[in-house]
Amino acid sequence: GQQVMQIPQYQHVQEGEDFTTYCNSSTTLSNIQWYKQRPGGHPVFLIQLVKSGEVKKQKRLTFQFGEAKKNSSLHITATQTTDVGTYFCAGPGSSASKIIFGSGTRLSIRP
């Protein structure tokens, strides 16, 4: 079935350093979504990318969708303690009514 693979599983950075997580699919994706889950919290929708090569920014967060629409990345510039959490990508499942989540990248930060 449809799968999205996400790397790395964990990332521990010094506050102020940059952070990147990658999402890869073996098949072309019609779109990809990103979610953030704070420790002890629930996933919160961040953004959706639809177009080949699309780049979107939300303050210090930059989201990219690959030209072949098989991969995506989330880059955080100058991390802050508020960025701590797990970041998930999600792609369409086998039906139009569901999405499949990647395994997530857990970001922790040394103050």
Give me the residues that bind another protein (CB under 8 A), please.
Answer: 1, 9, 31, 33, 35, 41-45, 48, 88, 92-93, 95-104
Q: Which is nearer to another protein, 85 or 102 (CB)?
A: 102
Q: How far is the CB of 62 from another protein (least distance, A)?
A: 19
Pairing of strands 99-101, 10-14: unpaired
Choice between 16 and 41, CB closer to another protein: 41
Cβ nearer to another protein, comparing 42 with 59: 42
Q: What are phi and psi for residue 104, nearest 5 degrees?
A: 90, 155
Give the shortest CB-3-to-another protein separation in angstroms.
Answer: 10
The amino acid sitting at 25 is S
Shortest separation between residue 16's beta carbon and another protein, angstroms: 28
- 38-65 b/e (C-beta count within 10 Å ≥ 16 → b): eeeeebeebbebeeeebebeeeebbbbb
Partners of 48 in beta bridges: 33
